[in-house]
Amino acid sequence: MSAIETAVPRPVAQPKAGLRLTALIVWGIVVVVVLVRAALASRHHTVFNTYFGAGRNWLAGKDLYEGSAGFVYSPLVAAFFAPFTFLKGVVSQPLWLAISIAGFLGALVWSLRERLIRLSGEQQAFVFLLLLPLSVGNFNNGQVNPLVIGLLLAGVVAIQRRWMWVSAFCIALAVYFKIYPIALGLVLMVAYPKEFAWRFLFALVLLGALSFVLQRPPYVLSQYQLWFATRTADQRHEAGIVRDGFMILKALNVNLSERAHQACQALTGGAIALLALLGRFRFRWREDRLLIAIFFLVDAWMLLCGPATESATYVMLAPAVACALVVSFGKGLPGGIKGLAIASYSFLLLGTAINSFLRLPKTPVVMSVQPLGAVFFACFAFAWVWNDRFWAEEDGLAEGGEPGN
């Protein structure tokens, strides 16, 4: 090597910064397009009209619920959307989307910064790029699912930070949107009986009581009665349009009775709670390992065993699946576990493509694509958190001074 070559420093490539910038630019473009579209076509191809109508009915003291269709969230959520009715459509829907997207992405950014999953800066950028195709559809039509999973993820991260009150109110608020997120609260109550349980119950009661402050108490009480009545009368599962794990059995010509269906829900949910209990008090798992196990498995349970899983609901699995795929390649997991992560992401991506671009008949086989992705993810999550060797190596890296982001 010549003296000149030795004296002149070589340029150092910075792939991490480049990939981060790419992810930021791509997401920025998508968010701007979604918000502009919402402003220009504020009443087309969106469920925000339903939320807007519920907010208007809340202010007027009218019934929020008609049968089992239409507005399906709690009276508190109707009160949440009431202020949007004072704004023009060109402002109200983009504002709602901005709140939803901020909650969704903000919770994921927080979880990565708090190292709930230990990823480098480059790996974190990959997570956001993988997340985009699984989630943009929900932003486009104004679904509440991104905000709900953002609240749940924030609740888990807050547990790690020992912000128990923040966790309790985040998860409790998610319950008032979609009821079945109470599964995460119940499992965390089992894992943290002294620190979390009573706070979560208090948050549920306090948020419910808030509804009665925001409108006339007799009206609010009647709306809660109607809410419970319409939710228990929901026939979507009996009609065979719910895309949960039991749709896979239906595609195989296996039809379970309602009692067997409920038994499967209870047994699988109980198994997750038992794993959380053993993980904390018997196996003494590191806290990030415990919280990942709880969040990933409950997330999958809500989709596979929840009462009303639809195609758009699978965005609630998107952050976890994107992280799983990056972890499987970046952490040197065994090939079988890596294959589960690849299969999960592939099936969810295929399901999103089918629902967005292909006009295929909604047969049980077609409607089983996304549930299969959730099954593969649940298997990945269990195999990952059960892999003692991986977590021992993670502990060794931490003790040896793992590089920061």
C-beta neighbour count of 82 within 10 angstroms: 19
User: DSSP character for 85?
Assistant: G
Which tops the pLDDT comparison, 47 or 298? 298
Task: Please say whether the beta carbons of 344 and 321 come within 8 A.
Answer: yes
Whether the pLDDT of residue 6 is over 70: the answer is no
pLDDT tens-digit map of 63-77: 999 754 579 999 999
Model confidence at 397, in pLDDT bands (50, 70, 90)? low
Please write the tens of the pLDDT for every residue from 123-153: 999 999 999 999 988 888 889 999 999 999 9
Lowest mean pLDDT among 83-87, 93-97, 259-263, 293-297: 259-263
Section 348-370 average pLDDT: 89
Q: Is the pLDDT of residue 396 over 70?
A: no
Q: Tokens 């493509």 label which residue?
A: 353
The pLDDT of residue 240 is above 70: no
Q: What is the mean pLDDT of residues 182-193?
A: 98
Q: Which two tokens stand for residue 318?
A: 């998107």
Which residue in the block uniquely carries the two structure tokens 């009160």? 79
pLDDT at 336 over 60: yes
pLDDT in tens, 210-221: 999 999 999 999
Angle at 254 between CA 251 and CA 256, to 5 degrees: 120
Paired strand residues for 69: 66
Q: Rounded to a whole number, what is the largest CA-CA distance in the chain? A: 88
Exposure string (b/e) for 369-401, b if CB count within 10 Å is 16 or more?
bbbbbbbbbbbbbbbbbebeebbeebeeeeeee
pLDDT of residue 404: 39
